Amino acid sequence: MRAGRSLRRGARGVETLRAMLGRLSGVIGLTLVALHLALALISPWIVPYEYTSMDSAQTLAGPSAAHWLGTDHLGRDVLTRVLLGGREALLVTGTATPVALVWGGGLGVYLGLKGGWRDEVAMRLVDAVLALPGILPLLVLITVFGTGGEVLMPTLAFFFGIPVIRVARAAAHEVVARDFISAARARGHSPLSIVRRELLPNVTDTLLVEGAMRWSWMLLAFSALSFLGFGVSPPKPDWGLMVSDARIYMSLAPWGVIAPVIALSTLIIGINLTADALAKTLGLDHSRKAVI
């Protein structure tokens, strides 16, 4: 019976994936995301140059046979750097998103179920942290702890988990009000078993969609930080950093800007379209959720 159940659960995943691929947004989104992930995995073995190798004879050169996307102001190959430029971002946000989802989702479900003064206090704190909009709280923490992936990963995981608390709490509230929870309580199941069997399966859909949206916002924040000079440190390649560097030479070498911009945008659009298709497939409308 156990095997049967996990089989069914797997079947639901396959079913959802198939339904998502039935939508145009799902096809485009999943293709883009898969492409980016694949490139990030194999790029170190396929890039034509070292990302640090400079060709001082060819700075800000246009596209050529040797450099398909030209070179930057230090004569580094733009194609190489674009191919590698998403790895750090994907690694950091790809780790931070699930962490944010688990801690924020867990706490939110707990609060939604428990209520009372804990809930009241926690929600005031959540409100207070959310009163620092956008990348502001990240900037403050960076001032304090400095930059780099090892700081950014926990920082992003922490701050992006906070709005998840709210979403998970609201979702839990909605489920708790339903009679199957009352029925389980009346039978005398333990709170833990009620959460595991009755509550969680009914909030995971919401959290999944939420996670996909958070991922894209986290990528936006990460690239903005990189752009401002607080993310990945040079000479490591990163799209945000590349745009920031190449911006000054934009009139001479626009491809230096355009290439990372396209790479970043396709990834974020891909994630967004995937989230959109996922939400529609699961019958959730996320477009009404708050921006923050």
Partner 1 sequence: MAGAAPLIDIRKLCVGFRGRAGAMLPVLHEVDLTVHPGESIGIVGESGSGKSTLALAAMGYLKHGLQKMSGEVIYDGADMFERSDRDLSRIRGGQLGLIPQNSGQALTPTMRIGRQIREALHLHCDLPEAEYSRRAQELLAQVRLPDPGVMLRRYPHELSGGQQQRVAVAMALAGEPDALLLDEPTTGLDVTTQAHILDLLRDLAASRNMAMVYVSHDLGVIARVCDRVQVLYAGETVLDGPVRAVLRNPAHPYAHGLLASIPRLGEATLPRALDGRPPGPAEARQGCAFAPRCPLATGDCRAARPPMIDGPEEQITRCLYPDHVAGLEADTKRTEPQPCPPDSPEALSLFGVSIRYDQRGPIDRLRRAPRPPATVDGIDLQLARGETLGLVGESGSGKSTILKSIAGLLPPSAGAITLGDGTPLPRSVERRRPDQLRRIQMIFQNPDDSLNPRQSVAEILAQPLRLYFGLKDDALRDRAAGLLEVVRLGADYLDRRPGQLSGGERQRVAVARAFAAGPEIVLCDEITSALDVSVQAAVLDLLNDLKAEHGTGFVFVSHDLTVVRALSDRIAVLYQGRICEIGPAGAVYGTPSHPYTAVLLGAVLTPDPDHAPRLMAEDAAELSPPARGCPFQNRCPVKRGPICDTETPPLRDAGDGHGIRCHIELDDLRRIARR
Partner 2 sequence: MTALIIRRLALGLVTIWLVSVIIFLGVEALPGDACTAILARDAFGEALARCREVMDLNTPALIRYVEWAGGILRGDLGVSAGGQERISELVGYRMRNSLLLAAGALAVGIPLSLLAGVIAGLWRDRWPDIVLSVGAIFAMTIPEFVAATILILIFAIWLGWVPAIVLTPADAPPLAFFPEFILAATVLTMLMIAHVMRMVRASVIEVMAGDYVQMATLKGVPYWRMVFRHALPNALLPAINVIALTIAWLLGGVVVVEVVFNYPGIGRLLVDAISDRDLPVVQAITMIVALTYIGVNLAADLLSLMLNPRLRSHQARRT
Q: Which residues bind partner 2 (CB under 8 A)?
A: 124-125, 127-129, 131-137, 139-145, 216, 220, 223-224, 227-230, 240, 243-244, 247, 250-251, 254, 257, 261, 264-265, 268-269, 272-273, 276, 285, 287-288, 290-292
Nearer to partner 2, 69 or 194 (CB): 69
Q: Are 63 and 70 in contact (CB under 8 A)?
A: yes
Size of the site for partner 1 (CB under 8 A): 18
| Amino acid letter, residue 112 | G
Stretch that binds partner 1, among 82-90, 148-156, 183-191, 266-274 (CB under 8 A): 183-191
The whole-angstrom separation of Cα 267 and Cα 231 is 18
The whole-angstrom separation of Cα 232 and Cα 242 is 10
The whole-angstrom separation of Cα 248 and Cα 101 is 38
Minimum distance from residue 176 beta carbon to partner 2 (Å): 17
Q: Are 276 and 24 in contact (CB under 8 A)?
A: no
Peptide bond connecting 235 to the previous residue in cis, omega within 30 degrees of 0 = yes
Q: Does 196 bind partner 1 (CB under 8 A)?
A: no
Residue 141 touches which of partner 2, partner 1, none (Cβ within 5-8 Å per kind): partner 2
Q: Does 180 bind partner 1 (CB under 8 A)?
A: yes
Sign of CA dihedral 279, 283, 285, 286: negative
| Amino acid letter, residue 245 | D
Chain contacts with partner 1 (rule: CB under 8 A): 1, 5, 8, 178-180, 182-189, 197-198, 201-202
